Amino acid sequence: MISFDDFLAVDIRVGRVVRAEPFPEARKPALRLWIDFGGEIGVKRSSAQVTVHYAPETIVGRQVLAVVNFPPRQIGPVLSEVLVLGVPDEGGAVVLVGPDRDVPLGGRLH
């Protein structure tokens, strides 16, 4: 088990996908994402294996939750700066996690 303080150390924020493109160099089908977390954090890049349910043209504009305080991770030619959160559907494909209505960018998960 983790402590409550451990949980509080994970900084999960809401951002809006402002750009998305295919990531053909990835080992598994993925998208390259640029996510705007507002003034304090700004735009961060990520890679996400979400191509079953999302295409670049349908994911732009969507608000998502992401961990913003993990160290950047190199994924092939992409430096992933945040970890976008999702849960698997019945077939194991990722469904993104986000608020059910628009909220201010950069808002922290409570």
Give the global pTM.
0.94
Q: Note whether residue 19 is domain-resident.
A: yes
Q: Is the pLDDT of residue 68 over 90?
A: yes
Residue 104 lies in a domain: no
Top-confidence residue, 110 or 42: 42
User: Is residue 60 included in any domain, yes or no?
Assistant: yes
The conformation of residue 30, written as its DSSP 8-state character, comes to -
Indicate whether 109 belongs to any domain: no
Provide the percentage of residues in the chain whose pLDDT is more than 90.
90
Mean pLDDT of the chain: 95
* Least-confidence region, from 49-53, 72-76, 100-104: 72-76
Domain count, the chain: 1
Q: How confident is the model at residue 98 (pLDDT cuts 50, 70, 90)?
A: very high
Contact 66, 38 (CB under 8 A): no
pLDDT at 110: 86
Evaluate whether residue 40 is within a structural domain: yes
Closest CA to 34 of 73, 58, 42: 42
The enclosing domain of 84 has a CATH number of: 2.40.50.140
**Does residue 58 belong to any structural domain of this protein?**
yes
Would residue 108 count as lying in a domain?
Answer: no
Range of the domain at 46: 4-96
